[in-house]
Chains A and B, each alone.
Chain A
Amino acid sequence: MFEYVDDALDAGAHREIERHLEGCAACAEFAEALRAPLDHAEDWTRAVLSRTASDPCAQAIDRLPPWVDGDLERFDAKLVGGHVEHCAGCNALAGVLRTMREELPQLAEIEPDIAFVDDVLAATVGASADIPVEVPLPWIARLDGWFAKLMYRPRIAWEGAYVATAFLLLLVFFPGSPLAGVPSKALDITRQSPNKIEQPFVAFRTNLDVGAQEAWFSTRTAARSLVVRASAESDDAYRYARRGIGTLWDRFASDPLTDETQATSQHGESK
């Protein structure tokens, strides 16, 4: 390229380069820049850079924010500073970044309406003091969201009925389930007759009556035996036995007497 610009090439090479320049804008620009006087060094530099390295602006823009903040390493800061000094676009962008840094924090606070603080106090301090305001807990809010999402599904009613039926079937009617015999037992209970229920009670009463009667007869028999023996011994023994049995004597005497006891009582009265 330098020989071309200096017309130091032979005719063939010269024509070949000219043909190339007709189709390559970058090389044509480079050739033009080489021909330009040295006071257009800035364009020349840009032309060289565009022909050789990648776009330096893209790399400078990536480093502009930390450069504006003063967070770059010294060497990188000098590189970026050197580029910004000669690049109007990046210089302007750096200015925007500096102004942004000053103005963006002003967007942090937006004052709400004057009733906001009162409403917050009523929902917090006022709630804990006098007014029982229900403050939703975070897990309730999450549960609410989950439940709302669930209820929006149109098949929820069918799904719920299906699950409940399947659960009931497995619990009660499936062989081997823990409550498998409950329905048949319940049916038996409802079919039971009153006699079956009363039977045990009647038997208890009968046993009680029989037991009481047997006790009475055995006690009376024992008492009468004592009287007979006492009478056989002596008058004193008879009177002693009668006195010992006490009020029971009248009861024994009032009962229907057998031949034996009747004879005993006549003997005692005559004495």
Chain B
Amino acid sequence: MLDVTTLIARCRQGDALAWEALVRAYQGRIFGLARHYLRDPEEARDVAQEIFIRIYQRLDTFQGDAKFVPWMLSLARNCCIDRLRRNKVRTPEHSVPVEDEPHIAAEGPTVEDQVATGEKHTLLYAALENMSDTNREIILLKEIQGLKIEQIATMLAVPVGTVKSRSNRARSDLARRIRVLDPSYGV
């Protein structure tokens, strides 16, 4: 993969090839995050496109000394949460109460996605399904997307210690659920 700093600098200069390379480099990650937040694959695709448009518009605001991936994932998370809240506002007939924390899709990717990523992931998605939204989001950001605790603390606006304790509890919770589904996992 090309150097991200150079790619971003070229994008700011209006280099369309650099922008295309950046999109191709991170499309999987952005779409994966959107799929974890939203139920509908089409809506996740729409949100993923909106995320890249926002990244394109805000490239000038990205501070070069910061890491690009956390900045990008933070922006992506905000887009997903905005879409989740908008969906709740626009469907009042369902009388969905607006929660303080957004509901992250319990259902994982479709069957086709699962085949593409391997059946071993089916167990992980099944275990993630019944977790609480808070624990699932921590797993998504830390264990799946690989963000550091300090970065997650900034993103969620909570103390670092809170993120640490939540992360430990979430991992233990997920491990217990996996053991219930498949006692032979990890042996």
Using CB atoms and an 8 Å cutoff, list the residues of chain A in contact with chain B. Answer: 61-66, 92-93, 95-101, 103-113, 116-117, 119-121, 123-125, 129, 135, 137-138, 141, 145, 148-149, 152
Contacts and interface: CB of A to CB of B under 8 A. Distances in A.
A106 B171 contact: no
Instruction: Give the interface SS of chain B, mostly helix, strand, loop or mixed.
Output: helix
Contacts of B24: 117
B37 interface: no
Contacts of B10: none
Contacts of B92: 152
Contacts of B113: 110
Contacts of A99: 185-186
Interface string B1-41: 00000000000000010011001100111011101100000
Interface of B: 16, 19-20, 23-24, 27-29, 31-33, 35-36, 45, 48-49, 52-54, 56-57, 82, 85-86, 89-90, 92, 109, 113, 116-118, 120-121, 124-125, 139, 143-146, 167-169, 171-172, 174-176, 178-179, 183, 185-187
11 contacts: A61-B172, A62-B168, A99-B185, A99-B186, A100-B171, A104-B124, A105-B143, A105-B144, A110-B32, A120-B52, A129-B16
Instruction: Give the interface SS of chain A, mostly helix, strand, loop or mixed.
Output: helix
Contact of B144 (A93, A108, A113): A108
Residue among B35, B117, B120, B172 having the largest count of chain A Cβ atoms under 10 Å: B172
Contacts of B183: 92
A117 B168 CA distance: 37
B90 A62 contact: no
B179 A96 contact: yes
Given A100-B178, A110-B35, A124 B45 contact: no
B130 to A, nearest CB: 16
